Structure 1
Amino acid sequence: MSLTPPFTEEIAREKVKKAQDLWNTQNPINVSKAYTEDTIWRNRSTFLSGQESVAEFLTAKWDKEKNYRLRKELFAFSDNKIAVQFWYEYQDSHDGMKWKRCYGLEDWTFAVDGRMRKRQMSGNDVEISEEERWFKDGVDINSVNISEAHW
């Protein structure tokens, strides 16, 4: 199955899960290759452009966010756009290794070759306890029941 636009629901869902799996590798160089050379990003209040900037950003991100585990779910799609809801948990190395969960939304626009041309991310971090974690070691993140209160 080709993961290039135009998207069907099946292709969009597969594209989201491929992105989830790629990000969970925490390999900034490999992740950056999923974006066009001239990709445009907004990640919260940070604005970036280009694969090299993305790789630098992700390197710094994962230096801070330890034990990172991410789940993405399809929210909506069109021919060359996908909207995603996501949750991830991490230990904040800049804040005493406290556990945090980020809740957020992304909108993605794709080039004809299937790489992402534009990514806009909005997210909020919430401090959580060890007991409140969803994505503990060994858990299949795709099988965690996330209640409607968290969607």
Structure 2
Amino acid sequence: MTPTPPLVPPFTLDTAIAKVRAAEDSWNTRDPERVADAYTPDSWWRNRSTFIQGRAQIVDFLTDKWATELEYRLIKEIWAFGDDRIAVRFAYEYHDDTGRWFRAYGNENWEFNADGLMRTRHASINDVALTEADRLFHWDRSGPRPTDHPGLTELGL
């Protein structure tokens, strides 16, 4: 059995793709503490027009996010990578407390430290209202996207 390579810089195409999938799987747990552990203690984010510094603020931000973005389901796809940086595109679906569905589209630029923890995250995101019939992300309410569920490219996104 071949050991799994560590998901630390410098990235190869395979480790960058694995890092993106690991991030997707983590975010799909909707567990703010688990997600925050993938970032440096002093990590810096720009998420839309919100600026966040450090794990405690990440936990607070994600706790609020998932209290309003219900049944959140995310798919990420690698766009480009370098030694210690990865660019991704993503889409996620969620509904609000009135039952209205949305799909958010975006791009993220990530920078990692030598241990593979993300130290910088820049996210640009736009939301589009959906009907129930327009939804494309169908899997268990919490947890990773099944391996047989199509990705963004296969879904035509």
Q: The residue matched to 2:136 in structure 1 has which SS?
A: coil
TM-score (norm 1): 0.93
Aligned to 2:93: 89
Q: Which runs of 5+ in 2 are unaligned?
A: none
The structure with higher relative contact order (CA 8 Å, sep 6+) is: 2
Q: The residue matched to 1:41 in structure 2 has which SS?
A: strand
Aligned to 2:122: 120
Alignment-mate amino acid for residue 155 of structure 2: I
**Residues of 2 paired with 1:132 and 1:89: CA distance?**
10
Q: Deviations over 1:14-38 (max 9, x none)?
A: 0000000000000001100000000
Q: The residue matched to 2:9 in structure 1 has which SS?
A: coil
Q: Which runs of 5+ in 1 are unaligned?
A: none
Q: For 1:51-70, what aligned pairs fall within 5 Å after superposition? A: 51-70=55-74
Structure with bigger helix share is 1
1:146 aligns with 2:142: no
Deviation at 1:64, TM superposition (A): 0.4
Alignment RMSD (CA, Å): 1.3
TM-score (norm 2): 0.89
Deviation at 1:137, TM superposition (A): 3.5
Aligned to 1:132: 134
Alignment-mate amino acid for residue 107 of structure 2: L
Aligned residues: 146
